Structure 1
Amino acid sequence: MRERIPHEIVASLLAGATAFIGGNALHLPPWAIFISWAGTFLLGGPSLTNAKRLWLAMPAGSAFALVIVLIEEHFGTALGEGRFARNLMQALVILVLNSALMYAGRLKLLALVPGMFFGFASFFATFFGGFGYDPGNAWAAWVSVVAMNALGPVFAYLSLRLTFPVREEVSQAASPVPQSRTGETVSPEPS
């Protein structure tokens, strides 16, 4: 396939467009699109199958991260007020919920564990970075990051589709493998 418009140009234009998605009153995390956009190509490229895998895994990972934050907000001082006690509580919560996330990956619907970690990390960056339509609100961060992560596979698809690819026909003269008139491969003659 030959691109009429170079992929680098199309992808860069789409990347620039994310500023208008994130740079509005909702203060959405535009970089969350890039996480799932890259994840789409790590899966082999844009396809409905790959998009569905990410669309299932990433919100699940973000949900595990949301639960960690909610538990921390409500029970963070259960072991004491000191820094060590709070860190210990946080470590225990992460141990349990991270293990649950990884075990959830044994379910067919959530088998894309790296995708869950993309959502997991995206949620923390959104929440602790103060992004979302209500900064500091864990639920608002979850809704915001899920919406933005969902756009990544769409941007991946557009980044290829908007190159307006055309099929190149390979002429037999340019073909490195000799072919007969019927199109069958012919063994080269010994010299």
Structure 2
Amino acid sequence: MKKPEAYTLSIGVLAVADTWLTGTLLPVPVWVTFIAWASFFVLGGGRAGFVKSVASNLTGLVIASLTLLCIATTSGSAFAVAVLVGIGSAAMVQASKLKLLDVLPAIVWGFASTVGTNVATGKAITTAGIGNPALVAAAALVTGAAFGFVSEVVGEALAFRREHRLG
């Protein structure tokens, strides 16, 4: 099977599994798993892409969580929120100076996924327990990276390789 078809099959089948899993057994936002899955491929795939993707996405998650915690201590005015998001955004840029985190969009995806999960769940960042939106987003980000890794392994295994013979 040619590589594009192999990846089509691998990703298509695993997308079904991911969507079913997040809709039944693992209550995390499927859209966050898909963001992390894409992040895995954007960061080059393989073990290195997995590590870099998870590290970058979770760095964005930590910065978003700190930003949300700071917002929770304010009056919630639009200006205060804007200033704190600006500080969080600047922190993401500074974090991207590190070699492991040098793809800024991957950090931003973790930040946005965390804020989105916070809004989608309607739960405050200060929520205790496994329902905490940062924990939910973290589980989704790692799950998505894992699906990326597995889809790559399966896609490569399904890809047909022709041997070129001399003679």
The reply to whether TM is greater than 0.5 is yes
Note the residue ranges of structure 1 that are not aligned, 5 or more in a row. 78-85, 173-180, 182-191
Give aligned pairs, total.
159
Match of 1:16 in 2: 16
Q: Percent identity, aligned pairs only?
A: 23
TM-score (norm 2): 0.82
- Distance in 2, matches of 1:25 and 1:155, equals 15
- Distance in 2, matches of 1:24 and 1:110, equals 33
- Distance in 2, matches of 1:72 and 1:35, equals 25
Match of 2:67 in 1: 68
Q: How is 1:138-177 mapped onto 2 (pairs within 5 angstroms)? A: 138=125, 140-163=132-155, 164-172=158-166
Q: Is the partner of 1:147 in helix, strand or coil?
A: helix
1:119 pairs, out of 110, 118, 129, with 110
Deviations 1:101-160, CA, capped at 9 Å, x for gaps: 211211233323211101011111111011xxxx50326111111111112232123223
- Distance in 2, matches of 1:36 and 1:25, equals 19
Q: 1:25 to 1:14 in 2, by over 3 A?
A: closer
Q: How is 1:54-93 mapped onto 2 (pairs within 5 angstroms)? A: 54-77=53-76, 86-93=77-84
Range that drifts further, 32-41 or 163-172: 163-172
Q: 1:26 to 1:9 in 2, by over 3 A?
A: closer
- Distance in 2, matches of 1:161 and 1:71, equals 41
Deviations 1:32-66, CA, capped at 9 Å, x for gaps: 1111211222223x211111111111111011111
Note the residue ranges of structure 2 that are not aligned, 5 or more in a row. 127-131
Match of 1:177 in 2: none
- Distance in 2, matches of 1:96 and 1:22, equals 32
- Distance in 2, matches of 1:10 and 1:97, equals 36
Match of 1:186 in 2: none
Greater relative contact order: 1 or 2 (C-alpha under 8 angstroms, separation 6 or more)? Answer: 2
- Distance in 1, matches of 2:75 and 2:25, equals 31
Match of 1:83 in 2: none
- Distance in 2, matches of 1:102 and 1:144, equals 24
Letter in 2 for 1:36: A
Are the counterparts in 1 of residues 67 and 84 from structure 2 also a CA contact under 8 Å?
Answer: yes
Q: How is 1:2-13 mapped onto 2 (pairs within 5 angstroms)? A: 2=2, 6-13=6-13
- Distance in 1, matches of 2:118 and 2:30, equals 13
